[in-house]
């Protein structure tokens, strides 16, 4: 009994400190829910654009079946996940949902690259309108995600801080999952450097080539004596 009273008074004292932080937790929790609802709203807006976008591209580029199928399957995968406000309280379901949205983003990026090969499609009025709506929606998604990230950071900081962490534990309010870098593994991987391949030797710029060795001078030939004439021999008494 004494132990229960001690726990009770400890909780009561905690609740009395600075308003116990309960109101802050509730306010920030509502902010997280509102931010998440806006994220879902923009994701749904993008998903609604996909069928018309695929049908328009198919009319000009039916042979791009692989990319079109990838976009369609990614959109179906997104639709198979039940997105509710309570999703932010389930880290596993939250990451599954974010992964599906990332796959749809990648598939749409590939589709936009394929479109560059079809000038007639790019000049189609309906496609230009859909492309403009898609670009605007992607920007709204980015804004909504940033707002959600900030609201979750504020809430999680409050949940971890003393003494509001005691209030959070009392009312079973835990930290909420947040967005992470989708290619975090690739970014954190160290770059691969191969030192086995030696670079080809290159001559230094501006180097003066060595002068060519001049050919060796030939030794002077000895003068050969011309044979004596008959008159000279007669003079010498021969």
List the Cα angle 6/10/14 in 5-degree steps: 170
Which residue carries 């954190």 as its tokens?
188
Q: What does the domain layout of the chain look like in residue ranges? A: 2-186
> Helix crossing, 65-80 with 91-115: angle to 10°?
160
- The predicted structure's pLDDT at residue 192: 47
Handedness of CA 137, 37, 144, 82 (dihedral sign): negative
- The predicted structure's pLDDT at residue 170: 86
- The predicted structure's pLDDT at residue 232: 53
- The predicted structure's pLDDT at residue 234: 47
Residue 67 tokens read as 């990319």
- The predicted structure's pLDDT at residue 185: 46
- CATH class of the domain defined by 2-186: mainly alpha
Find the distance separating the first CA and the last CA of the chain, reported in whole Å.
163
Q: Considering the entire predicted model, what is its pTM?
A: 0.68
Residue 123 tokens read as 């000049």
- The predicted structure's pLDDT at residue 97: 93
Per-residue pLDDT of the chain (238 residues; tens, 9 = 90+): 677 666 666 666 555 545 678 889 999 999 999 999 999 999 999 999 999 999 999 999 988 999 999 999 999 999 998 888 788 888 899 999 999 999 999 999 999 999 999 999 999 999 999 999 999 999 999 999 999 999 999 999 999 988 888 888 988 889 999 987 654 444 334 444 443 444 444 444 444 555 555 555 544 444 444 455 545 544 544 4
C-alpha pair distances (Å), 25 with each of 10, 52, 70, 152, 157: 20, 42, 42, 11, 10
Alpha-helix runs per DSSP H in 90-124: 91-115, 119-122
Whether residue 156 contacts residue 175, with contact meaning beta carbons closer than 8 Å, is answered with yes
């Amino acid at each position: 009994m004494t132990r229960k009273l001690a726990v009770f008074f400890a909780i009561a004292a905690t609740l009395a400190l600075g308003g116990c932080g309960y109101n802050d937790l509730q306010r920030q929790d509502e902010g997280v829910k509102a931010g998440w609802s806006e994220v879902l709203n923009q994701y749904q807006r993008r998903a609604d654009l996909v069928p018309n976008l695929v049908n328009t591209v198919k009319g000009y580029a039916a042979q791009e079946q692989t990319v079109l199928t990838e976009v369609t399957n990614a959109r179906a995968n997104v639709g198979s996940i039940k997105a509710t406000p309570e999703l932010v309280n389930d880290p596993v379901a939250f990451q599954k949902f974010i992964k599906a949205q990332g796959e749809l983003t990648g598939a749409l990026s590939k589709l936009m690259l394929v479109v560059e090969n079809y000038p007639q499609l790019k000049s189609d009025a309906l496609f230009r309108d859909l492309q403009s709506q898609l670009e605007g929606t992607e920007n709204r998604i980015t804004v909504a995600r940033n707002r959600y990230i900030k609201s979750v950071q504020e809430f999680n900081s409050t949940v971890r801080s003393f003494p509001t962490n005691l209030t959070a534990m009392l009312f079973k309010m835990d930290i909420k999952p947040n967005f992470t870098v989708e290619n975090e593994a690739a970014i954190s991987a160290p770059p691969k450097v191969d030192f086995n391949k030696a670079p080809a030797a290159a001559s230094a710029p501006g180097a003066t080539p060595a002068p060519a060795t001049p050919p060796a001078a030939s030794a002077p030939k000895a003068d050969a004596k011309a044979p004596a004439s008959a008159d000279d021999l007669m003079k010498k008494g021969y």
